[in-house]
Structure 1
Amino acid sequence: MSENRSSFPKAYLKLFKSNAPENLVSVHLNQQSVICDPKTGARKSPFVSKFVDKIPVKTMKDVFEYGLNTSRFYPCLRIRLPSKNKYSWLIYNEVDKKIKAIGTALVKTVRQRRNAENFVGIYGPNSPEWVIMQHACAAYGYTIVPIYPTFSNEAIQHILSQTQVNCMLCNSGTEALHLLDKFESSLEYLIIVSYDVKVEEVKSHHGSKVSVYLFEDFLKLCS
């Protein structure tokens, strides 16, 4: 069988001279880790040439800032553009601006309760907005309360009651309406990632008690 080098992973082509007879087969795939410390048996990737002695990371805020300082203009979060059905990257610098905008908007709009832990809920599947809110909370003194659609109603009610969370990021109006219609809560602020027909229903049925924002509009409240 003839060799087709264009089918090999670029990393292998760059680092190794492979003469494998089949597509995507390399002798290096049989040695995906090598022993770096014979005494402990610790292993490392053959791609790693050196280790970082110490990474100054202690908190979630430190995690992002370390990535920002080392990769400011490199890809950070990959997002899907629904209108084009394509994927695009947000670089670290862009994500940093969104984190600061969300954090500032939280402090300005939702504010922080004295002598109490300040919670922000996130209801929906993982998304770039999920990650941005997570890091904004870590940077501005809020504790995130993740709620997934797979949770039972009993579990969701327990979480809402125990935390008394007053601000919730929802993936769409559907999740927001579900929370408001089905559960007793202390919700005062809803931030919705994706607009759908249920958003208007949320506003018309619950707008007198809950402030409703689209994610991109909430970002603008930082000014």
Structure 2
Amino acid sequence: MLRNDVAMVEVPQSQRPGQTAIYRNPKSYHALDHRNSRNLYTLYDVFEHSVKKWPNNPFLGTCVNGAYQWQTFKQVAELRVGSGLMTLLEKNGIKKTTALGIYSINRPEWVITAEICNAYKMASVALYDTLGPDAAAYILNHSEIDAVVAAKVAIPNLLKVAHKVPKLKVIVSMDSLNDECSDITRQWAKDRNIILVDWNELEVLGRKYPKAHEPAGQEDIACICYTSGTTGDPKGALLSHK
């Protein structure tokens, strides 16, 4: 007898050596339920649905001095950073990338960059601090990345391996580059033949040259999730929108 008052139940005989059992919602105990009553088939569909249904609800928050400052669904949807990135690539003769790197800890710009990928049919590829420089270079090459959106502190790591990643042409800083130290970083990028801009510059460019969305389909790759590569080169799992 299945109980409906619990969050999930164990699927019998689903445990394997070295793995946990499979757990499912009691309503989908015998098989996964693929019915879709809202016609939401991609991550893009889900976000756009949320924007229409809850435009003024808080969506992304940043903790500042112990209090959260929120951006609503509508405010995030009205950002034009994605248009700016598409324009930047176009103006520099770079064919639109099929995968976009994200190199940062959790923050609103991380999620917004993932939504850019969903809106312009690109797969997101996360890079993280535990990666060594060789593993980072391997992932960038393996996923054929042209552009990376990164926290400012991560940019030196990218520039250090840039000579090993010939396809990398653009780095976008999530943080402002309007200081003396950033001038040095900009010159370093220029010496590596890499275009370096910040988030605000893309926003300005995107508002000047708006680009229509080119959303992915449900069978398209939403993200490539790489392992840390502790036992050899990192392995990339392909996750579709479906």
Matching residue of 2:88: 109
Confirm or deny that 1:34 pairs with 2:8: no
Aligned letter for 2:111? Answer: V
Matching residue of 1:154: 134
Larger proportion of helix: 1
Matching residue of 1:91: 72
Is there any run of 5+ residues in structure 2 with no aligned partner, and where? 8-23, 28-35, 209-242
4+ residue runs of structure 1 moved beyond 3 angstroms?
A: 195-198
TM-score by length of 1: 0.68
Q: Identity, % of aligned pairs? A: 20
Q: Specify which of 183, 207, 213 is matched with residue 190 of structure 2.
A: 207
Q: Which has the higher contact order (CA 8 A, sep 6+)?
A: 2
TM-score by length of 2: 0.63
Matching residue of 2:221: none
Q: Summarize deviations over 1:14-56 as a string: whole Å, max 9, x none.
A: xxxxxxxxxxxxxxxxxxx7269xxx9837xxxxxxxxx8232
Confirm or deny that 1:140 pairs with 2:120: yes
Matches within 5 A, 1:72-83: 72-81=55-64
Matching residue of 1:18: none
Aligned letter for 1:78? Answer: G
Q: Which has the larger radius of gyration?
A: 1
CA displacement at 1:70 relative to structure 2? 1.2
User: What CA distance in whole angstroms lies between the structure 1 residues aligned with 2:61 and 2:74?
Assistant: 14
Is there any run of 5+ residues in structure 1 with no aligned partner, and where? 1-32, 44-52
- Cα contact 2:58–2:71 (8 A) shared by 1: yes
User: What CA distance in whole angstroms lies between the structure 1 residues aligned with 2:42 and 2:129?
Assistant: 28
User: What CA distance in whole angstroms lies between the structure 2 residues aligned with 1:35 and 1:213?
Assistant: 49
Matching residue of 1:119: 99
Q: Specify which of 139, 143, 154 is matched with residue 163 of structure 1.
A: 143
Count of paired positions = 174
> What is the aligned-residue RMSD (CA, Å)?
2.8
User: What CA distance in whole angstroms lies between the structure 1 residues aligned with 2:181 and 2:46?
Assistant: 36
User: What CA distance in whole angstroms lies between the structure 2 residues aligned with 1:220 and 1:122?
Assistant: 21
Q: Summarize deviations over 1:164-221 as a string: whole Å, max 9, x none.
A: 311111111x311111113411221111112476533221222241121111221111
